[in-house]
Chain A
Amino acid sequence: METNLFRYIWRHSRREQLGILTLVAASLPLYFLSLNLPKEIVNRGIQGQGFAGPGDTQTFLRTPVPLSETLTGQQLYFYEGVPLDQTALLLALSFVFLALVIANGLVKYVINTAKGRMGERVLRRLRYQLVDRVLRFPLPHLRRVKQAEAATMVKDEVEPLGGFIGDAFVQPAFLGGQALTALAFILVQSVWLGAIALAIVVIQAGLIPKLRIPILRLGKQRQLTARELAGRVGELVDGGLEIHAHDTSNLERADISHRLGQIFDIRYEIFRRKFFVKFLNNFLSQLTPFIFYAVGGVLAIRGHLDIGALVAVISAYKDLPGPVKELIDWEQRRQDVQIKYDTVVEQFQPPAILEPARQDPDADSGPPLRGSVELRNVTVNDDGDTPILKNVALTLPIATRTAVVGAGASGKSQLAQVATGLFLPASGTVLLDGRDTQSLPEAVTGRRTAYVGPEAYLFPGSVGDTLLYGLKHRPVRAAARGAEAEQAKCAADRESRVSGNTLLDPEADWVDYTAAGVDGPEALRQRMVEVLDAVDMSADVYRFGLAGTIDPETRPETAAALLEARRLLARRLQERDLQGLVEPFDSSGYNRNATLGENLLFGTPIDPAFAPDQLADNRIARAAMRATGLDRSLARMGLQIARTMVEIFADLEPGHPFFEQFSFIDAEDLPRYKTLVAQADKIGLDALSDDQIRQLERLPLAYVEARHRLDLIGPEVERLVVETRHELDRRIVAERPDAVEVFDAERYNAAASLQDNILFGRIAHGRANAETRIAGAVAEVLDQLGLRAHVIDVGLEYPVGVAGKRLSAVQRQKLALARALMKRPDLLVIDQATAIMDGQTQTRIMDRLLAERRDGGVIWVLHRAQLADRFDRVVVVDAGQVPEHGRYAELAGTGGALDRLLSDD
């Protein structure tokens, strides 16, 4: 990358810079006119200079042709002008003033916008280039990059550059011009005084920037320490678990405090120096008038200089310090951003970087890999540059299933990593079908081979997006857009081109169906289901689907089919005499297996303020409860719950797991409720304050009669709750119809999960194995109606979360394997990707994957040698060497390296 910021800016914004300079130059006459006009208004318009009397007129806007008198002997005018009397002239001049103010403002607006746009363009280009470089970092280098630091650099550290770019050339030209004009004027008035002013300006311009150099050096340090601090804070968040687990929070505090101390010292030093320079600068600026007064005054008294000239010099000098000071400030900003730019660019210049051609989206992925992976004298180093794989020569046929076994740090992972071409060896060559991986484009390595490591990373998006991730190498079909959107896209493309960004459309369809071996979306979906089956993840995705929601407007058929499933399930349970397992929702009856809050709301909240456990604090719900008198019963039940909780939880220490699992009341709140119960017993429930009553009313909302069994809900309360439910429903329909989706046996509930929609009720508490039996019945019904695929579809929409954190570690690994399978790689390299799974799951997945790949194209690095007998070939790695390789049957039992590993297992 270009190391000089100025050259960088000039190269990428030359034309715009020149355009803005021209605009600035063109705006100057307007500016000077508007400076002169007030004097005209006062002198001629108000004081009536040049008017003989009230009836006299002057010509306005007469525009002479310059030099016309000299050339033709006759004064010519572009415009003869209009005769105006004093008042008319005053108004005319005032309007001209207004017009000039507006014109000036508009020109300024245009210039500033143009500068801003230019700055943002260059900044966009710079940021894009930085990220582009990150994408081209070789993987070993990438491992050393701290992500928080890289993010700060791209996001914050280059930010001030944007503001500067607009001023990089315009400002010095403009201010320099102003300063030179003023200086020239002074020189014309008096050479001596001019020389003095010039000398002081030169000293200022030479000395001040020199003094500022240490400040800039400190600024660089400040930037580095701040960046490290950002990195450390990122580490504290990532390593939170370890900090708590080792009680090292105080060590971290000490470290942070130390770093903040360093930053403080640096910043304080910067302040001291900065303000000293400021002092000196101000002093030098004021020194010139002092000399003018003293020396010029003496010269004037002695008669060497006329007073008029001295006054003119002094007034001209007024215009000098401003631009000079701003120029010096500009120079400082320049140095500052140059340093920022240097420190950022430095970080993005690794010793080696991938050639852009290797990531060319249109590169040919070449013929399928059928031959072999050949390692010739390959040495691979670890991060500390110690060889971990030493001088290995080995040929692995691709069309076979190979297991790589070895001890933990034997180098088996490195062997697999260089085989895919993802990592390059420190010395030696790796040939994929005879082609050197050193120069193979990623179109070959990333499409023909796949690598799944022990801790795969998932990008945010849905399960389906994750599966398709490996199929998106370049846009395959353009996005369908309306005319308007197409136009907007064209404009956006033009802008991208100006900033040197890629024009590839992220909204296009990038999915390469051919690579997935399918002909369209439907077959692709089938393939996804197949692949999920292969990695043993169908059941998980099915569960995600049941817990997911759909919009019945966009999927009316699915919604209708699910309603059918609801009816079928009810019938099925009835037939098998299992209806007791689910208590269905009935708008005129109390559901003893649902919470009291759910019974009141009788629907799914869309606005969280209507969540069943929030109803005691919801205005509309409170009004409904008051109307039916439920509020009194609610408080009474609350008191009863509080009393029971106080009684049975009294002896438990706070923080006891029972509180979290079983209590209605937090351990911290227990003493408060204890007092509350005592007070209510003494003065009666009615005498409690509103706030206390409210506290009690919150408790029963989470109460489930069938589960908690406190005998709180008798027929009378049931009737009251159902009555309040209807009252609440009326009020919600009237005031907030979109806050709640009410349970309706005949309608699909968009806010509730698929499972809840099918059950349309609550699973009964206390029925042995109710959940499993119901799950079985639901699965049966879904299969009968052919709905399983729909549920899986909804499951595919389940978001995996940031870095896949919404999935378990095992699910993440399974999904990463599935993602690799989707692109049907010629060579699939699995590097201990199943190591974290339990033995059964692991062998199940291994057997399925090996069956799917019975024609070969698998290199599997095993963490336990015992599983190697499932493979066609075994490669044994020991201490960076390959002591033996061949068929399992040939190697096992010979007392060689494989046997040693097997006996160690």
Chain B
Amino acid sequence: MGLEQEVEVLRRIPLFQNIEPSKLKLMAFASERVTFADGAALFDQGEEGDAAYIVLEGTADVRVTADSGEPITVAQVASNDIVGEIAILCNVPRTATVVATSELVTLKITKELFFRMVQDFPQIGIEVMRVLAHRLETTTRQLRAARGG
């Protein structure tokens, strides 16, 4: 898979869908493609976060270790998903562990690269705000539903 295909994947991610292809190409070019073997961890809960990963191929589990110490799989990610973006947006430790469940090909977007892109191309920042606002709205709704129910 070359740069062109990577750009195609990036365009399908909501966060990036309104961004010009040439900017996405720059981002893809400046990012490293990282392949994880089946069972390898992309990052562990509680670590310092330095990058987000966009899944190009393969699947991974998102696991959260509960207070009891038992890891619970809370979600699965596959192609076109992005993981680890929370840690690079606000400086909090990783909120979950992500483990590849097949050979996993990702695009690693480092914190510096991401902030550079936001700085240089403000429309990315706006997109990020929009996506985050959506999520907040969803979470709030879920919270309300949970309390009400």
Which residues of chain A are within 8 angstroms of B32 by Cβ–Cβ distance? 707, 765-766
CB of B65 within 8 A of chain A? Answer: no
Interface string of B107-120 (1 = CB under 8 A from A): 00000000010001
Q: Is the CB of B34 within 8 A of A768?
A: yes
Q: Does B149 count as interface, using CB distance less than 8 angstroms? A: no
Interface-facing stretch out of A352-360, A647-655, A859-867: A647-655
Bound-state Cα–Cα, A707 to B34, Å: 10
* Docked complex: B17-34 residues within 8 A CB-CB of A: 22-23, 25-26, 28-30, 32-34
A657 to B120, CA, bound (A): 12
Residues of B within 8 A of A652 (CB): 26, 120
Determine how close the nearest CB of chain A comes to the CB of B115; give it in whole angstroms: 12
* Measured CA separation A661–B25 after assembly (Å): 15
Question: B30 touching A709 by the CB < 8 A rule?
Answer: no
Are the CB atoms of B33 and A658 closer together than 8 Å?
no
Q: Is A711 located at the chain interface by the 8 A CB criterion?
A: yes
The answer on a CB contact under 8 Å between B6 and A709 is yes
A710 at the interface (CB under 8 A from B): yes
Question: Does B35 lie within 8 Å of A767, measured CB to CB?
Answer: yes
Is A708 an interface position by the 8 A CB rule?
Answer: yes
Does B2 belong to the interface (CB within 8 Å)? yes
Does B33 contact A648, Cβ atoms closer than 8 Å?
Answer: no
Q: Give Cα A652 to B6, complex, Å.
A: 21
Q: Does B33 contact A709, Cβ atoms closer than 8 Å?
A: yes
Q: What residues of chain B lie closer than 8 Å to A708, measured between beta carbons?
A: 3, 29
Looking across the interface, which residue of chain B has its beta carbon closest to that of A658?
B30
Which residues of A have CB within 8 Å of B42? 768
Note all chain B residues with C-beta closer than 8 A to A767. 34-35
Identify which of B26, B28, B29, B34 contacts A766 (C-beta below 8 A).
Answer: B34
Which of B30, B33, B40 sits near A661, CB closer than 8 Å? B30
Please, how many angstroms separate the alpha-carbon atoms of A661 and B33 in the complex? 16
> Given B22, B30, B33, B40, which contacts A647 in the complex, CB threshold below 8 Å?
B22
Which bucket holds chain A's interface residue count?
Answer: 20 to 34
B26 touches A648 (CB 8 A): yes
Tell me which of A644, A662, A711, A766 contacts B30 (CB under 8 A).
A662
* CA A765 to CA B35, docked complex, whole Å: 9
Complex alpha-carbon distance, A710 and B6, angstroms: 11
Task: With CB as the reference atom, state the residue of chain A lying closest to B7.
Answer: A648
Contacts of A707 in B (CB 8 A): 32
Chain A residues, CB < 8 A from B25: 644, 647-648
B48 within 8 A of A: no
Check B137 for interface membership: any CB of A closer than 8 A.
no
Q: Tell me how many residues of B have a C-beta within 8 Å of chain A.
A: 22
Chain A hits for B8, CB < 8 A: none
Q: Does B4 contact A (CB under 8 A)?
A: yes
**Bound Cα distance A768, B30 (Å):** 17
B30 proximity list for chain A (CB < 8 A): 658, 661-662
Establish whether residues B36 and A765, one from each chain, have CB atoms under 8 Å apart when the complex forms: no
Bound-complex Cα distance A707 to B120 (A)? 24
| B residues 80-94 in Cβ contact with A at 8 Å | none
Q: How far is the CA of A97 from the CA of B87 in the complex (A)?
A: 99
B112, closest chain A residue (CB):
A657
How many Å lie between the Cα of A644 and that of B30 in the bound state?
13
Select one of A648, A661, A710 contacting B2, CB under 8 A.
A710
User: Cα distance A589–B4 when bound, in Å?
Assistant: 26
Contacts of A647 in B (CB 8 A): 22, 25
Indicate whether A766 sits within 8 Å of B33 (C-beta atoms), given known contacts A648-B26, A657-B116.
yes
Chain B positions within 8 Å of A711 at CB level: 2-4
**A662 to B30, alpha carbons, bound, how many Å?**
6
The chain B residue with its CB closest to the CB of A705 is: B2
Which residue in chain B gives the minimum CB-CB distance to A708? B29
> Could you tell me the distance between the alpha carbons of A636 and B26 in the complex, rounded to whole angstroms?
21
Contact residues in A for B23 (Cβ distance below 8 Å): 648, 651
Min CB distance A224 to B, Å, is 52
Among residues 490 to 540 in chain A, which have CB atoms less than 8 Å away from a CB atom of chain B? none
Is B120 a contact partner of A768 (Cβ separation < 8 A)?
no
Q: Which of B53-76 contact A (CB under 8 A)?
A: none
CB of B114 to closest CB in A, whole Å: 13
Chain B nearest Cβ from A323, distance in angstroms:
79
CB proximity to B under 8 Å, residues A692-707: 707
| Contacts of A656-703 to chain B: CB distance below 8 A | 656-658, 661-662
A711 to B33, CA, bound (A): 14
Give every chain A residue within 8 A of B28 (Cβ-Cβ): 709
| A657 contact set on B, CB distance < 8 A | 116
In the complex, what distance in Å separates the CA atom of A767 from the CA atom of B23? 25
- Chain A residues with CB under 8 Å of B40's CB are 768
CA distance A766 to B31 in the complex (A): 10
Query: Of B4, B36, B116, which one neighbours A768 at CB under 8 angstroms?
Result: B36
CB pair B22–A648 under 8 Å, yes or no, is: yes
Inter-subunit contact A766/B35 (CB<8 Å): yes
Closest to A661 in B: B30
Cβ-defined contact, A649 with B2, below 8 A? no
What's the least CB distance linking B54 to chain A, in Å? Answer: 13
Give the CA-CA distance A255 to B36 in the complex, in Å: 60
Residues B26 and A649 in contact, CB atoms below 8 Å apart: yes
In the docked arrangement, what's the CA distance between A460 and B115, Å? 42
C-alpha spacing A767/B2, complex, angstroms = 16
- Which single residue of chain A is at the shortest CB-CB distance from B53? A768
- CA distance in complex: A649, B29 (Å): 10
CB-CB under 8 A from B34, the residues of chain A are 766-768
Q: How far does the alpha carbon of A649 sit from the alpha carbon of B26 in the complex, in Å?
A: 7
Chain B CB within 10 Å, residue with most, of A648, A656, A662, A707: A648
For residue A842, give the distance in angstroms from its CB to the closest CB of chain B: 22
> Which residues does chain A contribute within 8 Å of B37, judged by CB atoms?
768
List A865-898 residues whose CB lies under 8 Å from chain B. Answer: none
Chain A: CB-nearest residue to B41: A768
B22/A709 in contact, CB under 8 A: no
B25: nearest chain-A partner, CB-CB: A648
Which chain A residues (734-770) contact chain B, with CB distance < 8 Å?
765-768
Q: How distant is A81 from chain B, measured CB to nearest CB, in Å?
A: 101
Measured between beta carbons, the chain A residues less than 8 angstroms from B29 are 644, 648, 662, 708-709
CB distance from B92 to the nearest CB of A (A): 22
In the assembled complex, the CB of A556 is this many whole angstroms from the nearest CB of chain B, namely 39
Residues of A within 8 A of B36 (CB): 768
Q: Which residues of B contact A765 (CB under 8 A)?
A: 32-33
A820–B105 alpha-carbon span in the complex (Å) = 51
Task: List chain A residues, Cβ under 8 A from B33.
Answer: 709, 765-766
Nearest CB in chain B: distance from A270 CB, A: 59
Q: Give the complex CA separation of A658 and B27 in angstroms.
A: 10
Alpha-carbon distance A708/B29, docked complex (angstroms)? 7
CB-defined contacts of B35 to chain A, threshold 8 Å:
766-768
Given A649-B26, A766-B34, A766-B35, check contact A658 B116 (CB 8 Å): yes
Interface centre among B4, B26, B33 (most CB of A within 10 A): B26
Q: Closest approach, in angstroms, between the C-beta of B34 and any C-beta of chain A?
A: 5
Which residues in window 256-312 of A have CB below 8 A to B?
A: none
B24, closest chain A residue (CB): A648
Contacts of B116 in A (CB 8 A): 657-658
A710 closest partner in B (C-beta):
B3
- Min distance, Cβ A767 to any Cβ of chain B, angstroms: 6
Q: Nearest residue in A to B37 (C-beta to C-beta)?
A: A768
What residue in chain B is nearest A712 (Cβ atoms)? B2
- Alpha-carbon gap, A768 to B40, bound state (A): 9
Q: Given the complex of chains A and B, what is the CA–CA distance between A661 and B110 in angstroms?
A: 13
**Inside 8 A of B120's CB, which chain A residues have their CB?**
651-652, 656
Beyond A650-B22, A708-B3, A767-B35, list 11 extra A-B contacts (CB 8 Å).
A644-B29, A647-B25, A651-B23, A651-B120, A652-B26, A661-B30, A711-B4, A765-B32, A766-B32, A766-B34, A768-B40
Residues of B participating in the A interface, judged by any CB pair closer than 8 Å? 1-4, 6, 22-23, 25-26, 28-30, 32-37, 40, 42, 116, 120
List 5 A-B pairs, Cβ < 8 Å: A649-B26, A708-B3, A711-B4, A766-B33, A768-B35
* Chain A residues within CB distance 8 Å of chain B: 644, 647-652, 656-658, 661-662, 707-711, 765-768
The 6 closest A-B pairs by CB, nearest first: A711-B2, A648-B26, A766-B33, A768-B36, A648-B25, A662-B30
